Structure 1
Amino acid sequence: MIGMQGLGIARRFFFVVLALVTVHSLNAQQLKVDSLITEVNNRSGNGKAKPLIELGILLAATDTDSSLQCFRNAYRIARRHGDTVNLVRSGRLLAEVLRRSYQLDSGLYYLDIILPIAQRNSLLRDLKYAYNSQAIIYSQQSRFDDALNANFLSLRLREAERDHFEISTSLNNIGLLYHRLHNFEYALRFFLRALAVKKSIPTTVDLDQLLMNIGLCFEERGDHIAAIKYTREGIGACGVNCAPAKLMIAYYNISLIHFNTRDLDVAEDTIHSALEIAKSNGLLESELHAENLLLLGRISDLKNKIDVAMRYFDAAQAVATSNGYNTTLLDIYGAKAKLYEKTHQYEQMSFYQKKYIITRDSIIGYRMMTNLIRIENDYITQTKNNQIEAYQKSIADKDDHIRQKNALIIVSVVAALLFVAVSALIFKMYRRKDHDNRRLDRMVSERTQQLVELNNRTQSCLNSERLSFAKRVSEVENLLVKIDTLCAMGQRQNRNEYLDKIKSAVCQARLR
């Protein structure tokens, strides 16, 4: 009960937010538009293609007709001049605007032209977006096998680029496709995969719609608690500037939850709020609007308002028929058959039962189911092959790493052995040198000791000789003194030449 009250508050909150959302200033955009128009007028030939494309992108949100005209002119110019890049880009954007304008066949016409060109020239960015548009158109035309194939091709391109945001978008689109096929188990599987990828990246773009899709899928499976949880999270992620189409999804989820819990008045009020959004935002031809009308008819049926229910069923059928929403038509035919059975109008009941069977077989016939199974198996096989290749590559890389590691180990061991051998050689040489040094020191010490001893002996001998020489000198001096004295005495007594000569000789001896 608390959960229902919370969703009711959220519904009222969004209704108030929608009334308070402000429109961005048009001045800046108008300046850009005028600048691009001037650029287009100033250029000639193929030079006009690029500014025309940019002008078309700028006008796409506010002036669909002018945007289409810009893209068409850019497409013609690029085709005339053989400009492959601008041809593919303008064709893709032209198809996208045509799709949003519910001109599905025209959009598919341009995509069939540009896709082979984009493939040949490896224009991967345009190619993946073109596959995405093609898948949406095929889905709206109930060509679900072709839609699934285009979605898987788009997913493979995004997986090759490792762009997690776009991988999440592709997984969400595949989940939506399975949801349209009422294969809620597969739908939930891809939605949850998309959510896991989305949570691995910082951006929260489109997280709100993904959470609402998960909530809707849980509700279709009868899990009201999980449906309320994810719907609340989706509303919270959407914020105050939630886009009208996302608001309609939120309202549809809330009303479906109330419908399944038989809180019919709240469910009806919520659906009427969604209808007001569709009316004020040009979404009366959307498939979700047809789903809302169908749900209103079911609510009126449960309230036994048979005429009102039939009017809603007829209105839903008109929208679904004019736009080729065959899966919604299938649900409408089933609801009408039950209503006619309830009112005992068996002829009308039989009529709509037949239409139900024919439509179901056209949507999910044997060929369609075979193609779906084949495409699913091809994708699974391709995914497994990619995983096997990645695993084999990982093993090969590990083997290379192991070989490199083993080679490094061998080199390290050889280097270590060389280091040990060189160290041993150096140590041996050191030991030998140390031994030689020690022996040399010992020899030097011994020789020094010998020299010291020899020096001591020599010094001793010199001292002895010096003493002996000094003694002799002293004796000679004494002798000379005596001779001198005697000579002096003799001179005084006998003054002759002979004594003078002796004295002279003594004096000379002293001088020497």
Structure 2
Amino acid sequence: MEIDRLSRNNKIQKTIITIFIFILIGFDTVFQPALGQDEIQRLRREINQSKKDTNRVWIYRDLAYYYLEENLDSALYFSELGIQLSKELGFIKGEIWNLYQMALAEEFMDRFEPSISTLKQAFDLAEAQHDTLSMAKLQNALGVNLYYQSNFSEAMSNYQEALFLSEKIGYQEGISYSLNNLGVIYRKRRNFKKALEIYERSLVIKIQENDTVGIINSRYNLGLLYSYSNKFEKSLEEFSQAERLSETKGKSPNMAEIKIGRGMALYNLEHLDEAEKYFTEGFGQLKADKIYEKIAAMAYLGIIEVRSGNPEEGMKKLLNANEMLENSERLELKRLVSREMARAYEILNQPVRAVEYWKSYNILNDSINNEQKHWAIEEMQAKYEALEKDKRIQMQELALSKEKLKKKRNTIILSLLFILTLASFFIYLNRWRKNNKPKDLIQILNGKSIDFEKVNQNLLSPITNREKEIIELVEKGFTNHEIAEKLFVSENTVKTHLKNIFSKTEALNRTDLVHRLKNY
């Protein structure tokens, strides 16, 4: 009867819990240092002192970033100012990163389609600039957007492209971030082996880079993975390391989640008191948007209280957790709550209700297994398609290679034929010239001989003895090469002498030279 009464008053209980959560959030907000507000005030003062240049673009970008936690409309406003100023200045880099901040604000508003459109616009600019670093970051952001819409296949495709780009330029932070994102999807698809391989690779990079926050996140992800794999000792170890690192650093963005994760491992290892402590601390520190983490913590706290002899308070939490999940598609969390509800009713000796929730648990379990099989088939299909694509690419490359080889071979054959033809022509020409060379130009010029004394009387610059020798050989029809051999000089020397002779006599060619000299 008591349990039925609790069910009827469930809405009131939910309202009480919600008020309690908001009180916790408000308390946390009041006593947290207002670092974001301080930065906003500083940046707004800087705008008043800055010129309309690239520095102001970055101030707009930074204001948009800090306003993400304060006021999303303001984040949109300042990112838009940054975009407009970047366009005026032709500052592409500034435009890219103000577009990125605008996309984040749109994403936080659950306006996923405009956010994706904005990110693609930024990506196109980065691609046009061959800015691989920005392309890798934007590809990851696109993947996150798609992931929040449960479009895991497209998200994975973007993460893989981001990983490829990051590896291409050795961008270690981008590699690790892409790996973590891929690991989350593999974990959600319950491909724990692949997720473990990816998380461990990411952790190695974070350790090499001495990135404490990154190491904490990787340890947290590994802790969750081991928990889902029912390896609770390893899960506890990873969460404990993440917690110690967080305490060393002084603050971690996901400290509350780490505590809840550690509580899960402790609960499953039957350390109920210690688990309750971590669930309570984590629940109180969670941010307002961490709904599912709150539900998980509430469910575990509920079953611990039922098992510890406080069924009334415990069932309140379990019933609230169950109702908050009513319209959710988080099958694993619904399965967890159904299991703990069934156990609670068993402890309360209500077998009918226990059986009801065990049935629900089994149905959810089957759904999860079927979903897992579907994802496994989808993954196999994707691998097959990737192999087929690689095969097609290899065949195309082979065909192109053969075509290039064929063209190269044809080019070589044609070149050889051309060279042979040219060589044959010159051999024929040389033979023809030898066979048809006049032995003595005197025959052409009516048998007259050259009178060099008379010639020199008519020239401003007389013919030298060496030039006379060359003229006599030219008269007999010898080539420059043959003249050089006879006179034991170089062919260039012969050419120089001929040039001087032509200059002195004003002859146009060899025949004209002989003709002029004979007619002086």
Map 1:38-53 to 2 at 5 A.
Answer: 38=48, 43=52, 49-53=57-61
Match of 2:149 in 1: 141
- The TM-score, its normalising length taken from structure 1, stands at 0.57
CA contact (8 A) 1:326 1:363 kept: no
* Residues 329-367 of structure 1, C-alpha deviations (whole Å, 9 max, x = no match): 54356537846985424896499569837974996573x
Q: Specify the SS of the correspondent of 2:288.
A: coil
Gap runs ≥5 in structure 1: 1-17, 386-512
Q: Could you tell me which of 232, 236, 254 is aligned with 1:228? A: 236
Q: Distance in 2 between matches of 1:383 and 1:165?
A: 28
* Residues 259-279 of structure 1, C-alpha deviations (whole Å, 9 max, x = no match): 01112232122111111112x
Q: Could you tell me which of 266, 271, 276 is aligned with 2:284? A: 276
Shift of 1:23: 3.1
Q: Could you tell me which of 215, 234, 237 is aligned with 1:207? A: 215
1:372 aligns with 2:379: yes
Match of 2:44 in 1: 34
**Aligned residue pair count:** 361
Q: Which amino acid aligns with 1:283?
A: A
Q: 1:158 to 1:178 in 2, by over 3 A?
A: same
1:196 aligns with 2:200: no
Q: Distance in 2 between matches of 1:320 and 1:241?
A: 35
The alignment-based identity, stated in percent, is 14
CA contact (8 A) 2:332 2:368 kept: no
Q: Specify the SS of the correspondent of 1:206.
A: helix
Which structure has the higher relative contact order (CA within 8 Å, separation 6+)? 1
Shift of 1:207: 0.8
More displaced 10-residue stretch of structure 1: 181-190 or 108-117: 108-117
CA contact (8 A) 1:255 1:267 kept: yes
Shift of 1:94: 2.3
Which of the pair has more CA radius of gyration? 1
Q: Specify the SS of the correspondent of 2:270.
A: coil
Map 1:336-351 to 2 at 5 A.
Answer: 338=342, 342=346, 343=350, 344-345=352-353, 349=357
Shift of 1:159: 0.9
Q: Distance in 2 between matches of 1:310 and 1:75?
A: 53
Q: Distance in 2 between matches of 1:291 and 1:106?
A: 32
Match of 2:459 in 1: none
Q: Which amino acid aligns with 1:233?
A: Q
Match of 2:176 in 1: 168
Shift of 1:290: 3.4
Match of 2:296 in 1: 291
Q: Distance in 2 between matches of 1:261 and 1:299?
A: 13
Shift of 1:158: 1.1
Q: Which amino acid aligns with 2:335?
A: D
CA contact (8 A) 2:96 2:125 kept: yes
Q: Distance in 2 between matches of 1:101 and 1:359?
A: 31
CA contact (8 A) 1:340 1:349 kept: no
Q: Could you tell me which of 195, 199, 214 is aligned with 1:187? A: 195
CA contact (8 A) 1:337 1:348 kept: no
Structure with higher helix content? 1
Q: 1:109 to 1:350 in 2, by over 3 A?
A: farther
CA contact (8 A) 1:330 1:359 kept: no
Q: Which amino acid aligns with 2:135?
A: L
Q: Which amino acid aligns with 2:295?
A: A
Match of 1:455 in 2: none
Shift of 1:212: 2.6
Q: Specify the SS of the correspondent of 2:209.
A: coil
- The TM-score, its normalising length taken from structure 2, stands at 0.56
Q: 1:137 to 1:255 in 2, by over 3 A?
A: same
Q: 1:236 to 1:203 in 2, by over 3 A?
A: same
Match of 1:420 in 2: none
CA contact (8 A) 1:333 1:356 kept: no
CA contact (8 A) 2:43 2:59 kept: no
Q: Could you tell me which of 95, 101, 107 is aligned with 2:103? A: 95
Match of 1:312 in 2: 317
Match of 1:126 in 2: 134
Q: 1:381 to 1:315 in 2, by over 3 A?
A: farther
CA contact (8 A) 1:168 1:198 kept: yes
Q: 1:185 to 1:175 in 2, by over 3 A?
A: same
Q: Specify the SS of the correspondent of 2:195.
A: helix
Match of 1:178 in 2: 186
CA contact (8 A) 2:86 2:94 kept: yes
CA contact (8 A) 1:330 1:360 kept: no
Q: 1:234 to 1:48 in 2, by over 3 A?
A: closer
Q: Specify the SS of the correspondent of 1:239.
A: helix
Match of 1:447 in 2: none
Q: 1:78 to 1:316 in 2, by over 3 A?
A: farther
CA contact (8 A) 1:152 1:379 kept: no
